[in-house]
Amino acid sequence: MLHFRKAEPRDLPDILRAVREAQAFMRTLEIDQWQDGYPEPSTLARDIEIGQLYVVAEDDLSPGTSGSIAAFAALSLEPEPIYDSIDGRWSIPGPYLTIHRMALDDAHRGSGLALEILRQAISIARADGRASVRADTHTGNRAMRRFLEKNGFAYCGTVLYPITDGDPVRVAYERRV
């Protein structure tokens, strides 16, 4: 059985496996997102340390070990500075939760786990008094764009990430909680 929880340091190897699988999957779709080594292990370890990385994991099998990680996402309650310079307009004023670094492992792609992460993100945002949930993705990531649009997110514009490799433009979305 799978369950949603905060990531722990012991989960990092499984999370990195899911990252490698997501990178390979995006490469097959000719999307240059995550092809430069992002997200780095140190970024994910920091997400775990500050309590903003969540996983969907199989039940723990024995004391001191974690079950396999099926999916993960960083759900940040901190303002995203990049979002201050949107080429477009956020339509929902007030504090927000941002979904970052979301991936499913190959075995769980298409299983509905992305929707479960979205539901949990909305629940966390609502419980913390946030007005909206925001997310951004690569312009070529049509699957993520369709997923966001299908689940109530509105296109708000584009943001630029300060990266040296690949396309820095990301399409930005928002959904009221």
pLDDT of residue 67: 53
**Tens digit of pLDDT for each residue in 69-122?**
899 999 999 999 999 999 999 999 999 999 999 998 888 788 888 999 999 999
Backbone dihedral angles phi then psi of residue 35, each to the nearest 5 degrees: -95, 0
Q: Write the CB contacts of 163 (distance below 8 Å, at least 6 apart in sequence).
A: 36, 38
User: 7-11, 21-25, 34-38 — which is least confidently predicted?
Assistant: 34-38
What residue has token string 């970052």?
Answer: 100
Please report the domains of the chain, with CATH numbers, ordered by start residue: 2-176 (3.40.630.30)
Band of pLDDT at residue 59, cut at 50, 70 and 90: low
Least confident of 25-39, 69-83, 123-137: 25-39
Give the integer Cα–Cα distance in Å for 31 and 27. 6
Span 114-133, average pLDDT: 97
**pLDDT surpassing 70 at residue 64:** no
Q: H or E segment at 171?
A: strand 169-176
Q: Find the range with the poorest average confidence among 32-36, 62-66, 139-143, 154-158.
A: 62-66
Contact assessment for residue 112 and residue 1, using Cβ atoms and an 8 Å cutoff: no
Backbone phi and psi for residue 118, each to the nearest 5 degrees, phi listed first: -60, -45
pLDDT-based confidence at 163, cuts 50/70/90? Answer: confident
